């Protein structure tokens, strides 16, 4: 028997009961759609995390005061025995090999006002290097002036939204802004940066670190960020920084975090989660396979006389088996394709509704969902097909109805 | 040539052993026209199924054209059923979702004949049974006689040596039955062996030879033309 004839005959017998055929493949379609959607969302979550961390720059490392033990607790909370000082930051810059840039950071909420308008925003005290480490883009003017960290200069760089809110008519550059009671001159306005980790960089004012420490009356830094030379070993850098800080503070009271390590860990978790979800969805394919088996069993028992006839006119066991397996394969492939279409459609809808979420099914998921649905159909079609092969042709022919 | 040697077919029904066939010895020559008669349960259909390779004897030897078929595997048996034997059933056994053409085409498809070649052969086979015009009709759109003629076209499309017909006129009125018999006899006239199972003496009488079974044994063999005498004799007793 030719393959095309086989497929045509099988398709014809599926069309005999179109509604039942469609119903039986819906289960598979749902399973495949679920695999597609879940893996798309999982992959999207991973890409999203990676994009978020990308903003922090490559080869960067952050030193945070406070050490989180394995028992948990967020760094920066609880008892902090030693301040993380500007001296610490300088020591890191001097003694750790491979440091390209280094910036101390202090943070506080302060009132910013100009021309009768006022906003309470996050004020970041840092140095010129911060802009380079975080790859901040400047729209007009420049970022904080390079120079001694200890110099308290009356200058401020505004985030884009903040600049627009304080100076709706534009022309923020060169104007005076009152920040926490200090009069500072606007030396730059940032381009639009967007939101990272829920933190809107466009609503931030940047001022020199010494100015900020005096204004906030703080002796401890919020953190120190540093960027290593490309190609340097971040793991090694992390260990060196930790050792140095232990040396300086006499105990391990800082946390050293590298975004790449966090991305790797988080990405691994998300991958495992995606795989688990896809696995659960795949189980629904097995359930759908049982549905196909059921329909095929009914089909075999309804077509007993036909099977007897096929044997009488010379169909061998292989051909009878092939006819029924082809039916199962067509059913399951159609179900898989339907599920693929629905799944991709829903993913597309999701992306339309949430454009910032980069959901996209990985190609391995598409391929394996289709293969799995096909093999499920054929595997569960096997029993009914064997039953057809095993039918006694005489008893089968004795059934009058075809 | 069909050679049956001490053919037994036994069914085990609980404790009782049922002999559907109990030692059949029979030789049917190529081109013969044979009718098998007998009351219900006499084993005539079982005999036909064994000759048609749909059933295997419990005991005994069946040689088809000199070859013992007992040891053949499914592939070989299926090939003989496909190319060597044409089956015609009382209830036609046409597939409803296929039109007349599709039904007649089935054996060619199973035999792997190329589609291009199939078309001509199917048209010719339908033409031979006088249904060329009905090729597109579904079985349900055909009369009983027409359905049986489609079935005959299907049975003969691969030019078998033997036609086996199980009550081919059983569901037909006399004129359709006559058409069907004439058709079958026409094939036989071209050299095919024709073996019928029938209840109907009028059908059996047309055979060259009649075999009468009872309880799985051959109780009588006679030329078809003598059947009338037998009936009369039986009726008179």
**Shortest CA distance from B82: residue in chain A:** A314
pLDDT at residue number A255: 86
Q: Is residue B134 part of a domain?
A: yes
> Do the Cβ atoms of B89 and A15 come within 8 Å?
no
Residue range of the domain that includes B149: 95-158
B81 Cβ contact partners less than 8 Å away, ≥ 6 residues apart = A311, A312, A313, A314, B52, B53, B54, B87
Query: Domain count of chain B?
Result: 1
Backbone angles phi, psi at B29, to 5 degrees: -80, 160
Q: Is residue B70 part of a domain?
A: no
Q: Are A62 and A75 in contact (CB under 8 A)?
A: no
pLDDT at residue number A315: 94
B204 Cβ contact partners less than 8 Å away, ≥ 6 residues apart = B35, B37, B196, B198, B210, B224, B227
Q: Enter the DSSP assignment of A393.
A: H
For chain B, helix, strand, coil in percent to 5 are 40, 25, 30
Rounded CA separation A328/A375 (Å)? 9
Rounded CA separation B52/A387 (Å)? 22
Rounded CA separation B167/A4 (Å)? 35
Joined tokens for residue A49? 């995390």
Instruction: Write the DSSP assignment of A89-104 as a string of letters.
Output: HHHHHHHSTTEEEEEE
Q: Are A193 and A147 in contact (CB under 8 A)?
A: no
Mutation test of the interface with chain A: which of B93, B144, B161, choosing the one with the most A Cβ atoms within 10 A?
A: B93
pLDDT at residue number A71: 44
Q: Is residue B150 part of a domain?
A: yes
pLDDT at residue number A236: 86
Q: How many residues does chain A have?
A: 402
**Does residue A90 register a pLDDT over 80?**
yes
Instruction: Kindly report the nearest CA distance between residue A321 and chain B, in angstroms.
Output: 13
pLDDT at residue number A402: 44
Rounded CA separation B221/B199 (Å)? 16
Closest partner residue to B78 among A5, A316, A397, by Cβ?
A316
> In terms of Cα–Cα distance, which of A259, A267, A263 is closest to A60?
A259
Give the model confidence (pLDDT) of A318-361 as tens digits. Answer: 999 999 999 999 999 999 999 999 999 999 999 999 888 888 88
Count chain A–chain B contacts defined by CB atoms under 8 A. Answer: 78
**Does residue A120 register a pLDDT over 60?**
yes
% residues pLDDT > 70 (chain B) = 99
Helix or strand or coil: residue B174?
helix
Q: Partners of B12 in the beta sheet? A: B17
> Do the Cβ atoms of A16 and B110 come within 8 Å?
no
pLDDT at residue number A51: 80
The chain-wide mean pLDDT, for chain A, equals: 87
> Do the Cβ atoms of B107 and A5 come within 8 Å?
no
Q: Which residues of A263-275 are buried (b: 16+ CB within 10 A; e: fewer)?
A: beebbeebeeebe
Residues from chain B contacting residue A393 (CB–CB below 8 Å): 54
Q: Is residue B131 part of a domain?
A: yes
Q: List Cα–Cα distances, A367 to A32, A341, A370, B89, in angstroms.
A: 10, 13, 5, 48
As a whole number of Å, the end-to-end CA separation of chain A is 22
Give the model confidence (pLDDT) of A287-298 as tens digits. Answer: 888 888 988 999
Joined tokens for residue B135? 């090729």
Task: Say which residue the tokens 């199972």 belong to.
Answer: B197
Interface residue A269 vs chain B (CB under 8 A)? no
Closest partner residue to A315 among B52, B78, B95, by Cβ?
B78
Rounded CA separation A36/A32 (Å)? 6
Q: Is residue B18 part of a domain?
A: no
Instruction: Kindly report the nearest CA distance between residue A301 and chain B, in angstroms.
Output: 15
**Does residue B26 register a pLDDT over 50?**
yes
Mean pLDDT of the region B212-228 = 91
Residue A301's Cβ-count burial label (10 Å; 0-12, 13-18, 19+) is middle
**Does residue A157 register a pLDDT over 70?**
yes
pLDDT at residue number A197: 67
Instruction: Kindly report the nearest CA distance between residue A315 and chain B, in angstroms.
Output: 6
Q: Is residue B101 part of a domain?
A: yes
Q: Are A113 and A121 in contact (CB under 8 A)?
A: no
**Does residue B19 register a pLDDT over 60?**
yes
Backbone angles phi, psi at A343, to 5 degrees: -60, -50
- A68 band by pLDDT with thresholds 50, 70 and 90: low
Rounded CA separation A328/A320 (Å)? 13
* Strands A204-208 and A199-200, sheet pairing: unpaired
pLDDT at residue number A79: 52
Interface residue A9 vs chain B (CB under 8 A)? yes
Closest partner residue to A16 among B80, B83, B97, by Cβ?
B97
pLDDT at residue number A72: 47
Instruction: Kindly report the nearest CA distance between residue A9 and chain B, in angstroms.
Output: 9
**Does residue A69 register a pLDDT over 60?**
no
* Three-point CA angle A364, A370, A374, nearest 5°: 140
Joined tokens for residue A65? 């005061």
Name every residue in B having a CB less than 8 A away from some CB of A: 49, 52, 54-55, 74-75, 77-83, 87, 89, 91, 93-98, 106-107, 109-112, 114-115, 139, 154-155, 158
Residues from chain B contacting residue A4 (CB–CB below 8 Å): 115
Residues from chain B contacting residue A9 (CB–CB below 8 Å): 109
Q: Enter the DSSP assignment of B62.
A: E
Mutation test of the interface with chain A: which of B96, B110, B165, choosing the one with the most A Cβ atoms within 10 A?
A: B110
Give the model confidence (pLDDT) of B71-109 as tens digits. Answer: 899 999 999 999 999 999 999 999 999 999 999 999 999
Q: Is residue B113 part of a domain?
A: yes
% residues pLDDT > 70 (chain A) = 94
Instruction: Kindly report the nearest CA distance between residue A28 and chain B, in angstroms.
Output: 26
**Does residue A77 register a pLDDT over 60?**
no
ipTM entry = 0.92
**In Å, how far from its chain's centre is CA B175?**
20
Residues from chain B contacting residue A315 (CB–CB below 8 Å): 78, 82, 110
Q: Which residues of A323-340 are buried (b: 16+ CB within 10 A; e: fewer)?
A: bbbbbbbbbbbbbbbbbb
> In terms of Cα–Cα distance, which of A19, A32, A102 is closest to A345?
A32
Q: Are A249 and A82 in contact (CB under 8 A)?
A: yes
**Does residue A271 register a pLDDT over 90?**
no
> In terms of Cα–Cα distance, which of B60, B63, B58 is closest to B29?
B63
């Amino acid at each position: 028997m030719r393959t095309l004839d086989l497929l045509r005959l099988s398709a014809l017998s599926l069309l005999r009961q179109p509604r039942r055929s469609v119903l039986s493949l819906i289960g598979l379609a749902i399973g495949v759609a679920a695999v597609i959607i879940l893996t798309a969302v999982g992959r999207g979550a991973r890409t999203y995390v990676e994009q978020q961390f990308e903003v922090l720059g490559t080869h960067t490392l952050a030193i945070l005061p406070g050490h989180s033990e394995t028992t948990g607790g967020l760094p920066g909370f609880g008892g902090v025995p030693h301040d993380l000082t500007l001296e610490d930051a300088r020591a890191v810059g001097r003694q750790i090999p491979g440091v390209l840039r280094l910036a101390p950071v202090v943070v506080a909420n302060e009132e910013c006002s100009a021309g009768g308008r006022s906003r309470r925003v996050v004020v970041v005290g840092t140095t010129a290097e911060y802009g380079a480490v975080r790859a901040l883009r400047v729209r007009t003017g420049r970022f904080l002036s390079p120079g001694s960290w200890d110099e308290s200069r009356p200058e401020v760089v505004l985030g884009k939204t903040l600049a627009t809110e304080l100076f709706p008519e534009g022309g923020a550059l060169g104007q005076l802004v009152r920040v926490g009671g200090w009069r500072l001159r606007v030396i730059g306005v940032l381009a639009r940066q967007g939101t990272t980790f829920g933190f809107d960089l466009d609503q931030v004012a940047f001022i020199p670190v010494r100015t900020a420490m005096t204004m906030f009356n703080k002796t401890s830094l919020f953190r120190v960020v540093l960027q290593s030379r490309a190609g340097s070993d971040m793991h090694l850098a992390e260990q060196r920084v930790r050792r140095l800080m232990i040396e300086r503070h006499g105990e391990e009271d800082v946390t050293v975090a590298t975004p790449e390590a966090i991305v790797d860990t988080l990405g691994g978790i998300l991958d495992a989660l995606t795989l688990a979800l896809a696995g659960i969805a795949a189980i629904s394919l097995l359930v759908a396979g049982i549905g196909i088996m059921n329909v095929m069993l009914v089909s075999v028992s309804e077509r007993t006389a036909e099977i007897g006839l096929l044997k009488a006119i010379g169909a061998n066991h292989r051909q009878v088996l092939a006819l029924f397996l082809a039916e199962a394969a067509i059913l399951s492939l159609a179900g898989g394709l339907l599920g693929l279409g629905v799944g991709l459609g829903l993913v597309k809808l999701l992306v339309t509704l949430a454009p910032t979420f980069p959901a996209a099914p990985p190609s391995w998921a598409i391929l394996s969902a289709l293969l799995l649905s096909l093999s499920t159909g054929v595997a569960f079609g096997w029993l009914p097909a064997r039953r057809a092969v095993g039918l006694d042709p005489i008893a089968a022919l004795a059934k009058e109805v075809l | 040539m069909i050679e049956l040697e001490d053919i037994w077919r036994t069914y085990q029904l609980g404790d009782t052993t049922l002999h559907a066939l109990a030692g059949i010895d029979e030789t049917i020559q190529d081109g013969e026209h044979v009718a098998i008669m007998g009351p219900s349960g006499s084993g005539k259909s079982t005999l036909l199924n064994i000759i048609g390779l749909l059933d295997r004897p419990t005991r005994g030897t069946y040689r088809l054209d000199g070859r013992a078929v007992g040891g053949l595997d499914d592939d070989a048996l299926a090939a003989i059923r496909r190319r060597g034997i044409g089956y015609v059933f009382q209830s036609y056994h046409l597939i409803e979702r296929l039109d007349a053409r599709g039904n007649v085409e089935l054996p060619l498809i199973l035999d792997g004949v190329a589609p291009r070649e199939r078309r001509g052969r199917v048209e010719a086979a339908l033409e031979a049974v006088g249904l060329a015009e009905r090729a597109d009709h579904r079985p349900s759109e055909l009369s009983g006689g027409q359905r049986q003629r489609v079935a005959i076209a299907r049975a003969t499309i691969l030019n078998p040596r033997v036609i086996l017909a199980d009550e081919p006129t059983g569901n037909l009125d006399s004129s359709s039955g006559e058409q069907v018999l004439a058709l079958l006899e026409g094939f036989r006239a071209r050299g095919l062996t024709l073996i019928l199972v029938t209840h109907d003496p009028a059908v059996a009488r047309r055979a060259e030879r009649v075999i009468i079974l009872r309880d799985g044994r051959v109780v009588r063999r006679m030329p078809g033309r003598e059947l009338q005498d037998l009936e009369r004799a039986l009726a008179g007793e």
